[in-house]
Amino acid sequence: MNKKVKLVIFDLDNTLFSFDELWVRANKDTFKEYTLFKDIDYSEFMKLYKKYDLYFWKKHDEGTITLDELRELRLIKALEHFDLNISREEANKYFESFFTKLLSSITINRKMNELLLSLKESVNIAILTNGKTKEQNIKIDNLDIRSVFENNIFISQNIGYEKPNPKAFLNVAFELNVDPEECLFIGDSFKNDILGALNVNMSAIWLTDSVEESHIRNDFYVCKDNIEVLLKKLLDHDYQDLIINN
């Protein structure tokens, strides 16, 4: 059954740029700068750091810790395995150094921006992203996409709801005067982006390089390409069930 799409909503991190790749690089550079960590093997540290990162993200999603606490605790707990105890203040200082590096590594993707502008000629486009307003705005400015999306940028700290809360998705549809059924959401997170969009009757394209067996369903699309290829497919109407126009 064909679905007319009047609004295409994009996630930001790991959708419009490769956040994970930059995250790893910035962490490695920051780790190497700290003489306090000179006797710690980086690969062993990173295994533990990623383990606690996942653990504390679950706690954050459950609402039991804040984002700032997550950022501090994952480092504190990882370093305890090396008999190294640091304070919350020291952990926050490490994060600030890391995050400054990460933000500065986000640069313009001119090809993507050109494709977004071409898509914008046929349909309204928007961003819906979880995160802190200041941090997400820096990413958007570094990508030079503010003029592309104009006022259609929705950040969870601003709107008061985080994906996958249905209110986050419905807020975008309401503000841009479209029905949820007329929206297409594109993102990398199965839980936050895809299930969140489907739960309010939006169409969805999951941008991912791996699909678990348990996630195979027939009510959304899967794209294993990068964002540029996906945008070209939308412009070429490769998703034949989606009629994209205003």
Q: Give the residues of the chain that fall short of pLDDT 50.
A: none
DSSP label at 17?
B
CA distance 115 to 227: 10
How buried is 222 (Cβ within 10 angstroms: 0-12 exposed, 13-18 middle, 19+ buried)? middle
pLDDT at site 153: 98
The residue among 232, 245, 233, 13 whose CA lies nearest residue 114 is: 232
The residue among 226, 224, 225, 245 whose CA lies nearest residue 235 is: 245
How buried is 187 (Cβ within 10 angstroms: 0-12 exposed, 13-18 middle, 19+ buried)? buried
pLDDT at site 246: 60
pLDDT at site 37: 93
The residue among 207, 223, 232, 195 whose CA lies nearest residue 18 is: 207
pLDDT at site 216: 67
Please give the domain boundaries of the chain with CATH numbers for all domains. Answer: 3-17+108-244 (3.40.50.1000), 20-104 (1.10.150.240)
- SS (HEC) of 48-83: HHHHHHHHHHHHHHCCCCCHHHHHHHHHHHHHHCCC
